[in-house]
Structure formats: C-alpha cells, structure tokens
C-alpha cells in the first residue's frame, strides 16, 4: 500500500522532443497537460511557472502550451500551487482545471473537493490532478544555500537540479556538474515534510516521478478512472507517449517501493514521537 | 371598536420582524407598525472605527449575504469619496458587472419568497415553488438558472458571489479578469439568461397583475378575505440615486443629498404600549400572537432607527428607481412587485454592455491612493432593495467615522404607513413587496442617548 491504489504502472516518456528538451524526466506532466488542453479535457492548468528569482517558482494558470513549456523542470522549493485553484475558476473563468503538485498538494486538492471550506464551486471543476513523487522539499533560502554555498554554483547559472542516487546535483549552462551527498542537505529540508506519509502522490489521477525508470524516462501510475481514460484510453492511443511495461525496466518498482517504505517509516516515527514531545504533553497530530 | 392583532414572526423575507396592528371591526388596519426584532449586532459602524479603510468595507459586506455586493461597493466607494480617489474605467466596468449580477440573483431569489402568496393565473391554486408539478416546476428551474448566472458572474468578477473577495478594493479592483475566456464566459452566461429573463419577467408580471385583479385573496393558502382597493398604497415620496448603479460625493452631478437626511429614534415613531385583543389561531402557519392580553410595545421593541428624507419616511427600491428616472406610476404592493420584475432585463443588458466595453488588459487600480484627511465622503449604491448609503471620514488610511443607511431601514416606516387600509390577514403581502432585508436594516442603531432630540443632523 505504500504506492497507493493504482490501475496501471508503466515507464514512459513524451513523444514530443521539444517537450523533452527541458523537462525534468520523461516530460510526462507537460505532455499530458498539453494533450488535455488540445483535447478540451482541461481549459487550463495550475503549474509552477517562473518567478522573480531564479529557481523560485510561482503558481500560474497556464492556458497555452507555451506557458506549460515555461514551467518545465523541477524546482526543489515550495510553490503554493493550491493557492491558485480557486482563482483559476474565478478571474480566469476556467471550467475544467488541471493541477500539478507534490503529494501534499494533491491531498489539499482532494480535501478541498470533499470539504470545500471557502472553496465554493471549485471541487467539480478539478478536471485532472497530476501528482509528482516527492521525498522532501526545501525553503528557497535552503535551496540557495545548497546551490550557492555547498555546490558553489550561482543560482542564475543553473539549468537543472536533480536529486537521485544519493546525491543533489546542479547542472550549469556551460556544462559543469556539481554534486553534494544528500546527507548534507538534510538540515535544509522544510520541517513540515517530516510528517508526510505519501511518496508517490497516492491521491492523484495520474502520478509520475523519476525513480524506477532510466534517465530521460518516468515512472507513471494511473490511479483513477479519469486518469486511466485520459492516459491509457486517449493519450497513448493518439501517440503522445512512448511506454514500456514497468516490469521490463531497471530498477523498476522495487526501488520505488523501497524508497516509499523508507519515507513512510521514517516519517511515521517522527509523527509518533510528536505524541510525547513534551513532558506529559505532546504536539498535534493532523492525522487523528 | 379598534382591536390589536400581531403577526410575529413574519416569514418569507430575510431576518426577524413583526407586524403590530390596530384594526377596525372589519379587520382593516387603521394604524400599523412593521418593526425589526433582529437583535442589534455589535454595530458595524462602531467596529469599523480605527480599522483600515481597506478592511471596513469587507466587514460591512458581512451585514448581509444576499446583497453583500451593495455593502462592499457602497463601503469602498464611500472610502474613495472621503480620500478623493478616482478609479480607472475598467475597474468601474467590473463593478457594474458585479452590481448587475447581484441584482439578478437577488430579484430571482425574492420571486421564490413572493410566489406562495400568489395564484397560478386564472386558477385558485396558490403557487408552491417546491412542487414537482408543471407549470410551477419550470418556473422554479428558471429562477434557479437566473440565480446561477448571477452568482457565477459574481464569482468570476468578484472572486466570490457571497462576500466578494477579489474586488473591490479602495482605488479599484485587485484584478482584472483574464482574457479572453472569463470575458466570453460572462458574455455567454448573460446571453443565455436573456430569453429566460424575458419569459420570467412576463410570467411574474402576469402573476402579480392577476393577484391585483382578484376581489378575494389569502396569504399562502390561508383564509380568503376580501381585498380592499388601493392595496398597499401610501403617500410617502421616493428616494433613488440612479436606475442601476448609484452616486457618490465625488460625482459632479450628485443624486443623493446628505443634508436631506435626518434620523429619529423608534421611540418617537412607533406605537406605544398596546395589548393584543384579537387572536387568530388559524393564521398560517401557527396563528397570531397569543394570548389575548399579551402586552406589546413597538416603540421599545423596534431594533432600527428611523431615517427620514426631507423629514418624512420615503420608499426606496425598484419602484422608487423607476418612478424617479423612468416615469413609472403604478402604486400599491403589486406596483412595487411589478417594478422589480421590470429590472430584470436591465441587469442583463447592462451586464452585456459593460463586459463588451471592458478592456481585460486595462488598469484596474488607481495609480495613487490618497490616505485621507478626515473629509466626509459618501456613496450611494442602488442595492436590489434600494438606496444603500455609506458615509465615512478617513484619516491617514484609517476609518474615523462610518455610518450605514441601508434600504430596508428606509422602508420600515413607509411599510408601516402602507399597511393602513388593508385587511390585516394580507399585510404580509405588503411587507413582502418591499423584499425586506432585516439584517441589513439592523446592522446597528444610531442613537445618541445624551440627546433626547429627534433628529441627528449629519453636518454639525
Ligand atoms: C520538491 C520535489 C521533490 C521531488 N522528489 C522526487 C523524488 O524523490 N523522486 C522522484 O522520482 N521524483 C521526485 N520529484 C519529481 C520529479 O522531480 C519531476 O518533477 C517529475 O518526475 C516530473 O517530471 P516530468 O519530466 O514529467 O515533468 P516536466 O514536464 O518537467 O514538468 C514538471 C512539472 O512539475 C511542476 N513543478 C516543478 N516544481 C514544482 C514544485 N516545487 N512544486 C509543485 N510543482 C512543481 C512544474 O510546474 C511542471 O509542470 C520531486 C519533485 C519536486 C518538485
Ligand atoms: S515531502 Fe510531503 S509535505 Fe514535503 S513537499 Fe513533498 S509531499 Fe509535500
């Protein structure tokens, strides 16, 4: 159950090389939204668009493929996408909203749909929720310190950042790669991530991440009926993605399962410890 | 011999009120009081003092969830009038769209409240809006559709149809709507509603005319009584600041005049102590105030002040607007109901005109927002129920003084006059014609206890 409910899991990448040129992994998020936009399945999507500072994203409502393209790539810092889902249905006038987010953000979307506090007529307008795998996130200052001080790269020069194989890596436009071991980044993690019990966006329609698939490819779970129809029934048929059975790729689901188990076990422990954090008193547990 | 009868509480309107009436041997009202029993809140006016000029209108929005747009707009524009801030054209157009959207939903909602008193034209069947049977079912669905259009447009432009969040802000609006989707959506919705509103207006007018023409009638299925001529007539004047939007002290051509406004306390206006001497357990549903002998005291119980214009009560609302600006002259309770229906089309045409004129790339916040030097500013918004005037003084961005004169407060004493000559069993029909909104009316009572004098003048 650490991988959540899902109907199908494959390794995949976008068919469009233009999308792949700057996507983080297999370009699943960008390609799927672009497809949904063209098909009228969504009329816009909340994505992490460019912000004022390098690698500091801001939530935007993208209604064109060009805007989706600008949001490609992982920014390892907080981008409050959920703050825009209501606005998307308001001044943007959307009826069918797409949204991408980390597991916690997808949880927020689902909660807003079921318990719409101050979320009047938003729930039924969420048309496609794509989740991205997430082990942890960093506040912007933390990311800046990791990149500029520990990796010795100017934020402005970075063209890609990546976490994988136990390392945090920064790539520059001039071809340099700078890496630090992940354990050096731990103290910069946002503390809220330490009680998070979801690795592979269990509540999304479709979730995707890099782990499990080779470089340039993504691991994709289709979870809901909606996700299944859009992905399997339509996008694949129309030739938008190349896919391989997940069983045929290395390292495959075993590694995803291992990492998900590690995350949940570790964070469940943190959560348990909160109960007796003080002397004769504890800290709040949002799950009970 | 005159008897006293009381309907408490009244129903099918917003808030909590009662009708205390002296009636003659035929049950015809000789003197009536319609008064608010809604408890006086903490008092928006007092609460707002010392708050920022941006926050105060958001607080006053919470006076009422049916016409929050009116209070938000009047509040914001009073602040702008005090500080002398002119908003950009596109911000104004967005506010006009909001105004139209809110009026559309509010009038449609009021239809649901009024219909149970009325009959399916040509029959003796009272209209039950909840029946699954035709022809009423289609009417109810049409009302829901019109409300949905109003509320959806409110959502797009206002961020939220109940208590607009995005706009307005002092100086304009927080955001323009994004081109072209939202603009097209508003346009489509308005176009979709247009033929519905036309049919609906025709239907509602025929229903009200049918009622007017009947010799006998009852309230929502109760006992039939003979109607009197001039049902709901009164001799009070009208007050309106515009057909659609409003006026403010920034206008060159101002349409509301603060120096004509005075306010008296309920003590000076309503009836003194009375004893209920007539009781009707069959009045639907649950009877009138029992038992005979119950003491009532309207002057003490009323929860609103009594605002006067030129020293007398006036009527405000749809008929006042049409009478003052469009030569409308139908009197009585049904005259007011019909005037309300006649506003439907203007809501939609004005909405379409404004959305067509809107530049979605246009600026919506004034370049400069002065902080205010304590000057008095006022803004009148033509709320669904009439002229909603907010007056304020802003100093250094903070509210120094704030006062709200809302439509139903103006109408309370006028309705009391309009009850005279009607059979008491039908007085709720008169009251409902005014579409009362009592939480609006009772947002607080402006009383200066130290002064026993009648009127409180605005300009000292
Ligand atoms: C903080 C974080 C931690 C992650 N951790 C893991 C992990 O441990 N294992 C793993 O396999 N994958 C992880 N990922 C996911 C991975 O990095 C890719 O985002 C994912 O594989 C999608 O790649 P893509 O090529 O399909 O998407 P692309 O086509 O490149 O699009 C990426 C999408 O993600 C959105 N996005 C980027 N940054 C953020 C953000 N901070 N918050 C919300 N949305 C954002 C963008 O708007 C864009 O739409 C993480 C992502 C983030 C943001
Ligand atoms: S670790 Fe959990 S809480 Fe932290 S960003 Fe990822 S999904 Fe959200």
pLDDT tens figures, B51-97: 999 999 999 998 888 999 999 999 999 999 999 999 999 999 999 99
Q: How far is B343 from chain A (nearest CA, A)?
A: 26
- Are B225 and B27 spatial neighbours (Cβ–Cβ below 8 Å)? yes
Share of chain B above pLDDT 70, in %: 95
What pLDDT score was predicted for residue B450? Answer: 41
Q: How far apart are CA A86 and CA B172, in angstroms?
A: 21
Q: How far apart are CA A224 and CA A286, in angstroms?
A: 25
User: Does A93 lie at the interface with B, CB-CB under 8 angstroms?
Assistant: yes
User: Does B209 lie at the interface with A, CB-CB under 8 angstroms?
Assistant: no
Q: Which residues of B touch A121 (CB under 8 A)?
A: 152, 155
Q: How far apart are CA B400 and CA B433, in angstroms?
A: 37
Handedness of CA A189, A191, A197, A201 (dihedral sign): negative
What pLDDT score was predicted for residue B13? Answer: 92
Residue B392 burial by Cβ neighbours in a 10 Å radius (0-12, 13-18, 19+) = buried
Q: Tokens in use for B221?
A: 């299925």
pLDDT band at B39 (very low <50, low <70, confident <90, very high): low
Instruction: Give residues 177 to 196 of B whose Cβ lies within 8 Å of A.
Output: 177-178, 181-186
B127-168 pLDDT, tens digit per residue, is 999 999 999 999 999 999 999 999 999 999 999 999 988 768
B215-247 pLDDT, tens digit per residue, is 999 999 899 999 988 999 999 999 999 999 999
* Mean pLDDT computed over every residue of chain B: 92
Range with the lowest mean pLDDT among B319-333, B368-382, B446-460?
B446-460
Q: What is the DSSP letter of B39?
A: P
The answer, yes or no, to whether residue B452 has pLDDT greater than 90, is no
What pLDDT score was predicted for residue B133? Answer: 95
Q: Is the peptide bond before B168 cis (omega within 30 degrees of 0)?
A: yes
The answer, yes or no, to whether residue B443 has pLDDT greater than 80, is no
Q: How far apart are CA A145 and CA B332, in angstroms?
A: 75
Q: Tokens in use for B109?
A: 């909602």
Q: How far apart are CA A57 and CA B381, in angstroms?
A: 41
User: Does A109 lie at the interface with B, CB-CB under 8 angstroms?
Assistant: no
Residue B411's nearest CA partner among B381, B442, B380, B390 is B442
What atom in ligand 1 is closest to the CA of residue A132? 15
What pLDDT score was predicted for residue B459? Answer: 29
What pLDDT score was predicted for residue B45? Answer: 85
The ranges of chain A with pLDDT < 70 are none
**Residues lining ligand 2, judged by CB closer than 6 Å?**
A 102-104, 134, 136-137, 192-193, 196
On the CB side of B453, CA atoms within 13 Å amount to: 5
Q: Which chain B residue lies closest to A62 (C-alpha atoms)?
A: B178
Residue A174 burial by Cβ neighbours in a 10 Å radius (0-12, 13-18, 19+) = exposed
Q: Tokens in use for B289?
A: 């105030």
Confidence check on the interface: ipTM exceeds 0.85, yes or no? yes
Task: Tell me the whole-structure pTM to 2 decimals.
Answer: 0.92
The answer, yes or no, to whether residue B455 has pLDDT greater than 50, is no
Instruction: Give residues 153 to 172 of B whose Cβ lies within 8 Å of A.
Output: 155-157, 159-162, 166
Share of chain B above pLDDT 90, in %: 81
CA of A220 to the centre of ligand 1 (A): 13
What atom in ligand 2 is closest to the CA of residue A193? 4
Q: Which residues of A touch B160 (CB under 8 A)?
A: 90, 120
Q: How far is A90 from chain B (nearest CA, A)?
A: 4
Q: How far apart are CA B97 and CA B333, in angstroms?
A: 29
């Amino acid at each position: 159950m650490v991988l959540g409910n899902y109907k199908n899991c494959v390794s995949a990448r976008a068919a469009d090389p233009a999308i792949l040129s700057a996507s983080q992994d297999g370009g699943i998020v960008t390609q799927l939204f672009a497809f949904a936009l063209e098909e009228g399945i969504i009329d816009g999507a909340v994505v992490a668009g460019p912000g004022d500072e390098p690698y500091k994203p801001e939530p935007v409502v993208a209604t064109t493929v060009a805007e989706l393209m600008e949001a490609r790539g992982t920014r390892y810092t907080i981008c409050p996408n959920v703050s825009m889902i209501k606005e998307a249905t308001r001044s943007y006038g959307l009826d069918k909203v797409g949204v991408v987010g980390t597991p916690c953000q997808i949880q927020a979307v689902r909660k807003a749909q079921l318990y719409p506090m101050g979320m009047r007529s938003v729930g039924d307008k969420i048309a496609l929720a794509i989740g991205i795998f997430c082990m942890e996130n960093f506040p912007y200052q933390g990311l800046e310190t990791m990149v500029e001080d520990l990796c010795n790269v100017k934020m402005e020069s970075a063209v890609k950042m990546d976490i994988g194989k136990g390392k945090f890596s920064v790539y520059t436009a001039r071809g340099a790669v700078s890496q630090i071991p992940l354990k050096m980044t731990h103290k910069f993690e946002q503390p809220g991530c330490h009680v998070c019990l979801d690795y592979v966006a269990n509540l999304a329609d479709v979730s995707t991440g890099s782990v499990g698939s080779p470089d340039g490819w993504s691991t994709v779970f289709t979870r809901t009926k909606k996700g299944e129809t859009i992905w399997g029934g339509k996008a694949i048929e129309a030739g938008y993605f190349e896919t391989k059975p997940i069983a045929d790729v290395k390292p495959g689901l075993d590694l995803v399962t291992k990492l998900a188990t590690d995350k949940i076990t570790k964070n469940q422990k943190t959560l348990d410890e909160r109960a007796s954090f003080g002397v004769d008193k504890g800290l709040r547990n949002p799950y009970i | 011999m005159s008897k006293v009868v009381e309907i408490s509480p009244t129903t099918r309107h917003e808030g909590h009120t009662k009708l205390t009436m002296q009636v003659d041997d035929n049950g015809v009202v000789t003197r009536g009081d319609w008064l608010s029993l809604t408890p006086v809140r903490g008092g928006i006016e007092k609460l707002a003092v010392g708050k920022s000029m941006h926050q105060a209108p958001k607080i006053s929005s919470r006076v009422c969830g049916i016409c929050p747009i009116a209070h938000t707009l009047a509040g914001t524009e009073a602040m702008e009038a005090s500080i002398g801030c002119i908003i950009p054209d596109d911000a104004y157009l967005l506010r006009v769209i909001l105004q139209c959207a809110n009026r559309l939903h509010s009038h449609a909602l009021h239809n649901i409240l009024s219909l149970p008193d009325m009959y399916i034209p040509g029959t003796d069947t009272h209209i039950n809006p909840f029946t699954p049977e035709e022809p009423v079912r289609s009417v109810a669905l049409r009302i829901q559709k019109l409300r949905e259009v109003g509320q959806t447009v409110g959502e797009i432009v206002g961020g939220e149809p109940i208590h607009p969040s995005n706009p307005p802000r002092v100086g304009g609006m927080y955001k323009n709507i994004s081109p072209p989707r939202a603009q097209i959506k508003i346009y489509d919705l308005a176009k979709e509603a247009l033929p519905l509103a036309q049919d609906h207006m025709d239907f509602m007018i025929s229903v009200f005319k049918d009622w007017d023409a009947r010799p006998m009638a009852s309230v929502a299925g109760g006992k039939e009584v003979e109607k009197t001529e001039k049902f709901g007539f009164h001799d009070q004047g009208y007050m309106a600041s515009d057909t659609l939007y409003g006026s403010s002290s920034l206008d060159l051509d101002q349409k509301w005049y603060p120096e004509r406004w005075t306010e008296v306390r309920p003590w000076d206006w309503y009836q003194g102590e009375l004893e209920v001497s007539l009781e009707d357990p069959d009045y639907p549903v649950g009877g009138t105030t029992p038992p005979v002998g119950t003491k009532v005291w309207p002057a003490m119980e009323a929860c609103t002040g009594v605002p006067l214009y030129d020293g007398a009560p006036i009527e405000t609302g749809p008929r006042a607007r049409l009478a003052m600006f469009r030569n409308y002259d139908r009197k009585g309770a049904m005259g007011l109901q019909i005037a309300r229906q006649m506003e439907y089309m203007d809501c939609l045409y004005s909405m379409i005109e404004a959305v067509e004129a809107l530049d979605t790339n246009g600026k919506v916040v004034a370049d400069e927002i002065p902080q205010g030097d304590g000057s008095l500013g006022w803004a009148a918004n033509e709320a669904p129920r009439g002229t909603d005037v907010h007056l304020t003084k802003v100093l250094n961005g903070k509210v120094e003084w704030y006062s709200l004169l809302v439509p139903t407060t103006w109408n309370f004493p006028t309705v009391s006059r309009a009850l005279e000559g009607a059979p008491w069993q039908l007085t709720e029909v008169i009251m409902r014609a005014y579409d009362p909104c009592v939480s609006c009316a009772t947002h607080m009572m402006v009383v200066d206890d130290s002064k026993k004098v009648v009127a409180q003048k605005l300009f000292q």
